[in-house]
A = this chain, B = another copy of it.
Amino acid sequence: MQQSKNIAIVGSGLVGSLLAIYLIKAGHQVTVFDRRPDVRKVEFSGRSINLAMSNRGWDALRRIGLEDEVRKLALPLDKRAMHVNEKPLYFQKYGKDGEAIYSISRGILNRKMIDLAEEAGTVFKFEEKVWDIDMKQTTLYTGDAETTPWNKYKFDLIFGADGAFSRVRHKMQRQSRFNYSQHFIDVGYKELTIPANSDGSHKLDNSSFHIWPRGKFMLIAMPNLNGSFTCTLFMPFEGEVSFESIDTEMKADAFFERYFPDIKEDISNLKKDFFANPTSAMVTIKCFPWRYGDKVALVGDSAHAIVPFYGQGMNAGFEDISVLFDKMEAHGDDWKKIFSEYEISRKPNADAIAELSYRNFIEMSSKTADAKFLLQKKIEKKFAENHPESWVPLYSRVTFSNHSYAEALKTGDKQEAIMKEVMNIPKIEEKWDTIEVEHKILELLGEEIPA
């Protein structure tokens, strides 16, 4: 058992709330600060992408006995539903039978996590912005505005769980030798909604992750418990078809009619949201170190914000907490060692999932229409089905395993190199389904080829 500490967490999002629960169960006192109002008391922002909870997220919840509570909020999605223009709807299974990602509304989960953290004994201080941090003295200065008098709080430890634009990290960044990068992509996103049918049922299949791939832009839809779908439109900020170019109701009508004919009946709602909801940017943030001595540490997006195209942002943040807890169990009251091993073990994995998420953005943007790319995926899939021990597809490794992200990236690169050779086999289009190709892959994997 650790010596009880008085701990501050900045940020009452998903990761901050989960961390609070972990810390309290470990015997600490926890106060959570958030500059925003209590998310349980306000309307949602209209700028969320639904969460896709997968293996790593569930593991972190299960470990602390929260899995069942959260399952009640989630809908399992075991496949993609591809809405390709002028083609019938078709489905792609995510993994093996029983494997699924889980659609959860970010707002609803956040409310639940705060409830659970509060029940566990966390003190929440909403609408109290942290203006300054004395890291050496683990002291927070909070208040209404930069110039009005501040409250001063002294803690034993401080965690930054305050997201991509973290104030805690910002404070760390002023140290010399703090590595930092923020990289925005040229594509933005906007939340849209497809409401439920009048009887409360879903308008589209509710065990699928719906995708309308359209080359440079894409619409996705994930079901909610109340029968609605939270949709996300990903589209360039500027250019021919872009958030900037669709600036009248007429243009919006034409856009939805042309590109999304199978949800045409919902245009009025989509259009309303299109003009009411903000367009948000997406950023990859990397930094190092993630801590200040044995006093301050970063978790979740504040340490490693990623683009959402692998559905792993929350899962990675939850896994941070799980790893931090491993280190707490291993090193007792030696917080320097806890923080140091936490950052050293997590950093390569955070970099890996950042890279994988960014690659998925490139893949979705530029390759989904490429016949050769689709053929490659088909060959991989078939081989994986026939040789499940030898070939776990990258997506499954990231989503349905708890092997490290860094290992997933490395294995994925190896698989990609093999597939590159396979795709160079002359007339691969004709013979992709032959034993020759299967043997070639086995050979490249260095495995025995059946006689």
Contact = CB atoms under 8 A, between A and B. Distances in A.
Interface of A: 176-184, 237, 281
Given A177-B184, A180-B182, 14 more contacts: A176-B184, A176-B281, A177-B237, A177-B281, A178-B182, A178-B184, A179-B182, A179-B183, A179-B184, A180-B180, A180-B181, A181-B181, A181-B182, A181-B183
A237 B175 CA distance: 15
Contacts of A184: 176-179
Identical copies of this chain, number: 2
Contacts of A237: 177
Residue of A177, A180, A237 most packed against chain B (CB within 10 A): A177
A184 B177 CA distance: 5
Contacts of A178: 182, 184
A217 to B, nearest CB: 17
A184 B181 CA distance: 11
A182 B180 CA distance: 5
A237 B176 CA distance: 12
A184 B179 CA distance: 6
11 contacts: A176-B184, A176-B281, A177-B184, A177-B281, A178-B182, A178-B184, A179-B183, A179-B184, A180-B180, A180-B181, A180-B182
A361 to B, nearest CB: 15
Contacts of A281: 176-177
Contacts of A177: 184, 237, 281
Contacts of A179: 182-184
Nearest to A186: B177
A304 to B, nearest CB: 14
A190 to B, nearest CB: 14
Contacts of A182: 178-181
A289 B184 CA distance: 11
A179 B180 CA distance: 11
Contacts of A183: 179, 181
A234 to B, nearest CB: 15
Nearest to A177: B184
Nearest to A237: B177
A183 B286 CA distance: 11
Closest 3 A-B residue pairs measured CB to CB?
A181-B181, A177-B184, A176-B281
A181 B173 CA distance: 11
A172 to B, nearest CB: 12
